[in-house]
Each structure stands twice: as structure tokens, then as C-alpha cells.
Amino acid sequence: MTETSSSFLWIAAFAGASALVNALGILSIIKYKGWAEKSLPYFMCFAAGILISSPLILALPNAVRSNPGAGFTALLGFLVMFFSNKLIKYYTKKRELAFGLVAAEGIGIHSFVDGIIYTVTFSVSILVGFLSAIGLVIHEFAEGVITYIFLLKGGLSKKASAVYAFLIAGLSTPIGAFLVYPFVSRLERATLGLMLGFVAGVLLYVSASHLLPEATVYEKKHSTLAFMAGVGLALFIVFTKSP
């Protein structure tokens, strides 16, 4: 099996897994509301631990090795996420990142970008893609729960909220991955380095400014332990990787 076909299989596997985990999050909040709400902070903190570690110890160093300018695109990725979040808050006038249909739009864009991240990271390295994808897949559970709750608060029925939450937050990830793959697979390594830098900035923002602050709203006794478990898993994978 060629490296390209192997990368595509990994992208397809994790894109599909993200949609599945997203659906599980939606089903959990419908059928097991108490358990889902109780577990939500732990999923967020664990995912944040992985997603903070991955760019700093693997994705960004790889990006800079491929292209010294990747640090600038990392900053750009962080700032794009920062100002898009500000824009959504400005128009919704809510404390939450978004609310109702506008929330769904913001989450849908974010999920689409997740799919692009799978494609870019796996195109650079299986290890970089694998480590980034673990955190992204885990946080899909929380994203499914949050999207469903926002749509429900926006006035939709339980059934409509569940269907639209999956379409917006679940299916948008594999769509993003598969739409971008034909173009990313043809790019030179230096260009991929710039894109990976941008992705690293996005991941840092999502983890440090989105997942962790949201998790602290529902602060639990072992939230910090869950965060450090995510950091520990990322370090374990990096230090035990094959040469």
C-alpha cells in the first residue's frame, strides 16, 4: 500500500469516527441526559489536553521544519479563530460562543475545518495526523451535545434539534476532509508546512480558548486530572513512536 493511499484510509477512518462520536453525543444527551451532562467537562478537558500538546510538541515543529514561515501561519490560524469567535459573539449578544441557528452555523464551520485538519495533518505525517485526530474525535462528543442543546434552546423540537445537530456538527467534518483531499494531496511539502502551521494555530485556539474555558463553567473535581491525562497520552504516543 502506498503512503498516499494509507493516508487516505486514515483520513476516511477518523472522519467517519468523528461523525459517529458526534452522533453518540447527541443520542447520549437525549437518552441519558444526566450522564452526558456530568461527563461533558471530562471529555472537553481530556480533548483539550491532547489538542494543546499536539501542536506544541509535534505539529508546529514539523511545520517549521517543512517551512520556516509556518510560525506566522500558526499565528494567523489562532487570530482567525479568535476574531471569528468575537464576530459571532458580537452578532448574537450572548455569553456563549453562539446561540440557536447562529451557534449551529459557527459550529458547522468549525466542524468543516476539523475535516480539513484531518486531511492536512495526515498528508504531512501519519503520526501528526493520528495525534491530532484523537483529540478532535473525542471533542466531537462534546460538540454533538452542545450543538443539540443550542438548537433546542433556539426553539427547535427534540427531533429536529437532533437531526440538524448531526447534519451540521457531524457530517460537516467528513465533508470537509473529502472535499479538500484532492487538492491537499497535490501540494508541495513547503506549502503543506504553511498549512500545518495554520492548523496548529487553530488547534491551540480551540483547546486553550474554547474547550478549557467551556469546561471550567462545569468545573468538576477531577477535571484537571482529565486534562493531564490528555497531555500524558499525547506525550506517550510521541515518545513511543517508531523511529
> What angle, rounded to 10 degrees, do the helices at 189-205 and 33-54 form?
140
Q: What is the largest CA-CA distance in the chain?
A: 53
Alpha helix ranges (H) inside 154-211: 158-165, 172-184, 189-205
Nearest Cα to 138, choosing from 39, 44, 62, 68? Answer: 44
Domain that holds residue 24: 3-239
d(CA 79, CA 68) in angstroms, rounded, equals 19
Q: Give me the pLDDT at residue 96, please.
A: 47
- Report how far Cα 178 is from the mean position of its chain's Cα atoms: 16
Q: Look up cell 433556539; give the residue.
A: 154
- pTM (2 d.p.): 0.66
**Overall domain count for the chain:** 1
d(CA 85, CA 94) in angstroms, rounded, equals 12
DSSP state of 32: -
Backbone phi and psi for residue 108, each to the nearest 5 degrees, phi listed first = -60, -45
Q: What is the pLDDT along the chain (243 residues), one digit of tens a residue?
A: 555 667 888 888 888 898 998 899 889 888 888 887 777 778 778 877 877 887 888 778 888 988 999 999 999 989 988 887 777 667 656 554 444 555 566 567 667 877 888 888 888 778 878 877 887 787 787 778 777 877 776 667 888 888 988 988 888 889 988 988 888 877 788 888 888 888 888 878 877 877 677 666 666 677 788 888 888 887 887 776 544
Q: Give me the pLDDT at residue 242, please.
A: 43
